[in-house]
Amino acid sequence: AVAIPWRDDLAVATALHPPAPRRARWSFTALAGRLDEVAPPAPSDDAADPAGGLDEPVLDEPVPPEPVAVPFTLADVPGGTAFGTVVHRILEQVDATSPTLLDDLCAAATTELGGNLSRITPEALAAGLHDSLHAPLGGPLGTRRLVDVGPTDRLAELAFDLPLGDTRLADIGAVLADALAPDDPFVPWARAVAAEAPSLDLAGMLTGSIDLVARHVEGGVPRFWVADYKTNRLGDRYDHDEMADEMLVHHYPLQAALYLVALHRYLRWRLPGYDPGAHLVGAAYLFVRGMTPDPAAPSGRGVLWWQPGARAVLALDRLLAGERP
């Protein structure tokens, strides 16, 4: 036996400062859900059907087909979380530059569909995704397509943990409203968040994964962007206004802003001479049902770009690092 000497100077410890606030582990869906509690978004009269969810549509119910101006094969596929999950899994594993891309997509669709979603055949799903991968991305990428992004220029499902400090959702809105260009389409959304979410504390960590981080070289400079695949049903147009409505309804600007900060920190630690103004392009929201290589389709159909700019990304980065607005 070991003798333990008696101590007569022991005392109960006294806290010298208040305990830190409760920390939480957040996802984007949880953040958007909290925001909806205080400021439920109201879609415009011509917005998408209510089957949409916070990140992916949530109802696995068949939706009657709608007439389309330009045919695309995914238009009539029923919406739902299960369908969105299948699409993400296929796009994560398939090399879009493969010479046997259609066969690869069909094989992956056969595996991922399994016994679920019996109303969709692997061949139809593969054909629809094949069209999406060949659609021009528009915006800063012009005629580039996902099939032009090689395996060494892409990271699929880049996981991250982003500390949120003692931030409030209202602080995020205020910082973005101040740092975005006055004509940015999401300034009104940022102002609304700043005004309507003052009590929503976000102390803790945001955990997530970015569907796609891609790189292309322009003028000898590597440029990086994030993409998020969306399977939401938006009727027949998939034009800029429709997609912007959907972004607002589901608070996707919040997702895009946080993902761009995560990519900014990733590049800052890894890319020599990193300059967000030169290297960080922005976020592309890829509504795969509306993406088509058909030259008769309007330019930019199915793809919405948001480029908040280096000033906004740096301001949000500083906020999450503890700087108060």
Known catalytic residues are 228
For the beta carbon of residue 183, count every other beta carbon within 10 angstroms: 6
Q: Which amino acid is at 268?
A: R
Distance (Å, whole) CA 155 – CA 102? 21
- The residues, ordered by sequence, that sit 6+ positions from 276 with a Cβ below 8 Å of its Cβ are 264, 267, 310, 313, 314
The answer to whether the beta carbons of residues 320 and 261 sit under 8 Å apart is yes
- Give the SS3 label for residue 171: helix
The answer to whether the beta carbons of residues 101 and 133 sit under 8 Å apart is yes
Distance (Å, whole) CA 179 – CA 170? 14
Distance (Å, whole) CA 256 – CA 127? 28
Q: Which amino acid is at 57?
A: P
- Give the SS3 label for residue 205: strand
Cα Rg of the chain, angstroms: 22
- CA dihedral (77, 81, 82, 85) in degrees, to 10, reads 100
- Three-state SS for 9-72 is CCCCCCCCCCCCCCCEEECHHHHHHHHHHHCCCCCCCCCCCCCCCCCCCCCCCCCCCCCCCCCC
